[in-house]
Amino acid sequence: METRVLMFGWEFPPHIAGGLGTACLGLTKGLAKQGVQVLFVMPRASGDEDQSAAKIINASDVEALYDYRDIEEYWKNIRFMEVGSNLIPYMDPERFEREVNRNVHERTEEHKIGFKNKYQFSGKYGANLMEEVGRYAVVAATIARQQQFDVIHAHDWLTYAAGIAAKRVSGKPLVVHVHATEFDRSGENINTLVYNLERQGMEEADRVITVSNWTRDIVVRRYGIPPEKVVTVHNAVDFQSYSDMKVERGVKEKVVTFLGRITYQKGPEYFIEAANKVLQRYPNVRFVMAGSGDLMDRSIRRVAKLKIATKFHFTGFLRGQDVQKMFAYSDVYVMPSVSEPFGISPLEAMRSGVPTIISKQSGVAEVLKHAIKVDFWDVNALADAIYALLAYPALSQFASKYGLDEVNTLKWENAAFKLKQIYEELKR
């Protein structure tokens, strides 16, 4: 009997803001090969998503429709979702309550209310994100009533409320997938709203999947989740669409690249300080910071202050082909993350044959032998590692060759195989 999974995600290629969408695509393709059927729900589908492995349901197309007999029970089940003020999206709360009460009091069979509305999700990470998270959960409950499935699988905190709503409505087991925690994103000054949603999702789940033991440890320690409920399934990388790019290099110098959001979590300031140290010893190099984020202005000012601006470039956010092009230009790739649940970009760099340096504070460090690992805060060690890869061709060739072999063994099928086993345990 095929296992059917109702999966909730926030993004799916080609429209992605980061590694989460990439992981969702990889996992659904892997699951399709294992004979698992996936219904993938996202807030806003554009129609050009890869549907070879998963049937995509666009939450913006779903009519949320309840009659009053469901509403009382639904209202009971939905209390946990205090997601800011505007809980019921389809009408203001006062009118909603009035309608419900009126109908519950009248309690006549032929008298039903239907609120028949579609809500257009932006599917972005914008200012009214919390409101969208709440609305998404309401739609999730509707979808869970309409579809047949064995297991619910929710990716990241944005969809945990949806997962919980679907579980309450269907009684099916819930798996939540932790791709990052609020402690990775924000360090110690966490957003308590997000933390609470994360913890609630993990507590309500029948299994919590983490992308690394690094993250598993945070889930057990910081969220108080029983260790026996938390399973690590390492991410992988999908190279079917990869073509080896040959690019004409416009610069004579070596190129060292940082590619990721320019935020506290990704450690951009350590990259800049290391760059400054390397340039003192090895002037024939350019540093590139590809990405955007709230520390960008500060980073640009720091580069100017260090007087290395002629050797340091900011590209802004890169997409698809441009990412591959950037790797093709690079001689060294650096991921100095402060706290990285996994980290798919080093795998992409290594797949392009780029020698790679990663922080020990990352999940991907658990699966890579042929990347150089340093503590994110150790700017001297980072500078030494960059210098060594630039100055000693033999080291660089070794890292490039063995890195490529190693990364090719990390396949999404293996991750999907583990997921399938988890689903089958929960189905029993």
| Two structure tokens written together for 349 | 């760099």
Mean pLDDT of the chain: 82
**398 and 419 assigned to the same domain:** no
pLDDT band per the 50, 70, 90 thresholds, residue 84: very low
Better pLDDT: 288 or 192:
288
Considering the domain architecture, whether residues 219 and 262 belong to the same structural domain is answered as no
Whether 45 and 97 share a structural domain = yes
> How much is the average pLDDT of 70-81?
36
Q: CATH number of the domain at 385, please.
A: 3.40.50.2000
The whole-number pLDDT of residue 128 equals 65
The answer on 219 and 84 residing in a single domain is yes
Residue 398 has a pLDDT of 95
Question: 330 and 200 share a domain?
Answer: no
Statement to judge: residues 296 and 164 lie in one domain: no
pLDDT class for 94, splitting at 50, 70, 90?
very low
The string of DSSP codes covering 125-146 is: --TTHHHHHHHHHHHHHHHHHH
Strands (E), 323-406: 332-335, 356-359, 372-374
Strands (E), 113-202: 151-155, 174-178
Asked if 60 and 132 sit in the same domain, the reply is: yes
Give residue 190's pLDDT band: very low, low, confident or very high (50, 70, 90): confident
Mean pLDDT of 371-385: 97
Do 230 and 266 reside in the same domain of the chain?
Answer: no
Cα distance between the two ends of the chain: 12
Same domain, 214 and 319: no
In a domain, residue 421? The reply is yes
pLDDT in tens, 29-51: 888 888 888 888 887 766 677 77
From residue 211, alpha-carbon distances to 19, 201, 225 in Å are 12, 16, 16
Does 402 share its domain with 271? yes
Which stretch of 29-33, 201-205, 265-269 has the lowest confidence by average pLDDT?
Answer: 29-33
Asked which of 97-101, 190-194, 394-398, 423-427 is least confident by mean pLDDT, the reply is 97-101
Structural domain contains residue 247: no
Dist CA 270 CA 286 (whole Å): 16
Quick: pLDDT tens for 114-125.
334 555 665 555
How many domains in the chain? 2
Helical H runs in 235-284? Answer: 268-281
Per-residue exposure over 61-79, b if at least 16 CB sit within 10 Å of its own CB, e if not: ebebebebeebeebeebbe
Whether 290 maps to a domain, the answer reads yes
Answer yes or no: is pLDDT of 62 > 70: no
Asked, for residue 242, whether it belongs to a domain, the answer is: no
Q: Show the domain range for 19.
A: 4-66+74-236+414-427
- Residue 74 pLDDT: 36
Q: What is the pLDDT of residues 310-332, one digit of tens each?
A: 999 999 888 778 888 899 999 99
